[in-house]
Amino acid sequence: MRQIAAIHPKAGYSPILLVLVMGLAVLFTSGCQQVAAEPVEAPAIKPAITAAPVELPTEEPALVVPTLPEPTAIPVLSSAVCSPLEGLTLSDVTSIKTNSLKLPSPGKDDGHHGIDYSFWTFRGMDTIEGMGINSVLDGIVAGKVGNRFPYGYMVIIETPLEMLPPGLRSQLESIQPQPVQDMSNSPLSCPAISSTDFSSSGRSLYLLYAHMLEEVKLNPGDQVACGEAIGQVGNSGDSSNAHLHFEARVGPSGFRFTEMAHYLNDSSDTERLNYCAWRISGVFQLVDPQIIIDAGASNSQ
């Protein structure tokens, strides 16, 4: 901006003129002053939106399943004797015994080789037919037969003598093995039986359950437990009314009766051999089944 020279009174100017000039100077200089700019309101800055914190799902801890101990194998209960009939005690079955053991003549197939259990009415039951049959002892299935004469549907279960209750075992261990009997004069048609057919050194108790309602579901070699269901009471084979025929013999361990029959025109050599070996050869020695029932009853008291 131009500067205006100051006017001094000594220059001969009149006071009035001087005042005018100075007033113009003031006006001029005031017009050259910078006008302060009006303050411009700064646009309000919107605050940044702060996202609400997102809660991430925390990872569920892995479910820890407690490790159960390995099941312990159940030992064979060598002291157990169970009732052969479902729902009846050992004392009950003795009370419904209708036929007892009658020893046969040597070499003959007469007498009665076991015990029969039956009733017309018992504790509100009108018949024994269909009642469950249970295994009296732990053991292994030694044979089963379909509806063949004379046993009908039947099963044989083997129990080694060392697995029996001590008192029962001591009684049966006293039964000594016998040689094969001479069957040449037997009224039965028996194939030749040799002692070499029974070479086992071990001794077992064999229990036979006969005249069942239907063929058993078990097979030779199957293990069964004392009290396990093995069939139902029936009227098959040489039977006139529903009953359980229960037979017991001691003989060489490990023998398997895959077939058994007699008194039939169509019976095979194997069926007749097994029947003769079981019934009259002397290899499988007859035992009164009541001994086994009594041993169990005494242990349960």
pLDDT at 76: 45
> How far apart are the two ends of the chain, measured CA to CA in Å?
137
- Chain position carrying tokens 């039947």: 154
Decide: 272 and 262 in contact? Cβ < 8 Å.
yes
pLDDT in tens, 93-120: 999 999 999 999 888 899 999 999 999 9
pLDDT at 27: 43
Q: Is residue 58 part of a domain?
A: no
CA pair distance 145, 270, nearest whole angstrom: 12
**Mean pLDDT lowest for which of 21-25, 87-91, 201-205?**
21-25
pLDDT at 238: 96
Decide: 136 and 84 in contact? Cβ < 8 Å.
yes
Q: Is residue 111 part of a domain?
A: yes
CA pair distance 230, 16, nearest whole angstrom: 152
Looking at the predicted structure, is the pLDDT value of residue 36 above 50?
no
Query: For residue 290, which amino acid is it?
Result: Q
pTM, entire model: 0.74
Q: Is residue 48 part of a domain?
A: no
pLDDT at 272: 95
pLDDT at 159: 98
Decide: 157 and 222 in contact? Cβ < 8 Å.
no
pLDDT in tens, 225-243: 999 999 999 999 999 999 9
pLDDT at 299: 76
**Mean pLDDT lowest for which of 28-37, 112-121, 176-185?**
28-37
Q: Is residue 85 part of a domain?
A: no
Q: Is residue 39 part of a domain?
A: no
Higher-confidence residue: 143 or 186?
143
Decide: 132 and 86 in contact? Cβ < 8 Å.
yes
Query: Phi and psi (nearest 5°) for 192?
Result: -65, 135
pLDDT at 79: 54
CA pair distance 233, 205, nearest whole angstrom: 22
pLDDT at 207: 98
Listed ranges 32-46, 88-102, 177-191, 192-206; the one with the highest mean pLDDT: 88-102
Query: Which residues, 6 or more positions from 179, have their beta carbon under 8 angstroms from its beta carbon?
Result: 195, 282
Higher-confidence residue: 121 or 39?
121
Higher-confidence residue: 259 or 26?
259
Kindly state the DSSP code that residue 57 receives in the 8-state scheme.
P
pLDDT at 65: 36
User: Which residues share a beta bridge with 223?
Assistant: 140
Q: Is residue 210 part of a domain?
A: yes
Q: Other C-beta atoms within 10 Å of 129: how many?
A: 15
- For 48-171, strand residue ranges (E) read 97-99, 114-117, 132-134, 139-148, 152-160
Check which CATH number belongs to the domain holding 108 and give it.
Answer: 2.70.70.10
pLDDT at 22: 52
Angle at 27 between CA 23 and CA 31, to 5 degrees: 170
Decide: 254 and 150 in contact? Cβ < 8 Å.
no
On average, the pLDDT of the chain sits at 81
Decide: 243 and 211 in contact? Cβ < 8 Å.
yes
- For the chain, strand residue ranges (E) read 97-99, 114-117, 132-134, 139-148, 152-160, 203-212, 223-224, 229-232, 244-252, 285-287
Range of the domain at 170: 90-192+199-300
Query: For residue 85, which amino acid is it?
Result: L
Q: Establish how many alpha carbons lie within 13 A of residue 272's alpha carbon, considering only the half-sphere containing its beta carbon.
A: 16
Q: Is residue 6 part of a domain?
A: no
Q: Is residue 158 part of a domain?
A: yes
User: Percentage of the chain with pLDDT > 70?
Assistant: 73
Please report which confidence band the pLDDT of residue 77 belongs to, taking 50, 70 and 90 as the band edges: very low
pLDDT in tens, 276-291: 999 999 999 999 999 9
Q: Other C-beta atoms within 10 Å of 189: how many?
A: 13
Looking at the predicted structure, is the pLDDT value of residue 80 above 80?
yes
pLDDT at 86: 97
CA pair distance 3, 62, nearest whole angstrom: 91
Total number of domains constituting the chain: 1
Please report which confidence band the pLDDT of residue 5 belongs to, taking 50, 70 and 90 as the band edges: very low
pLDDT at 124: 92
Higher-confidence residue: 150 or 26?
150
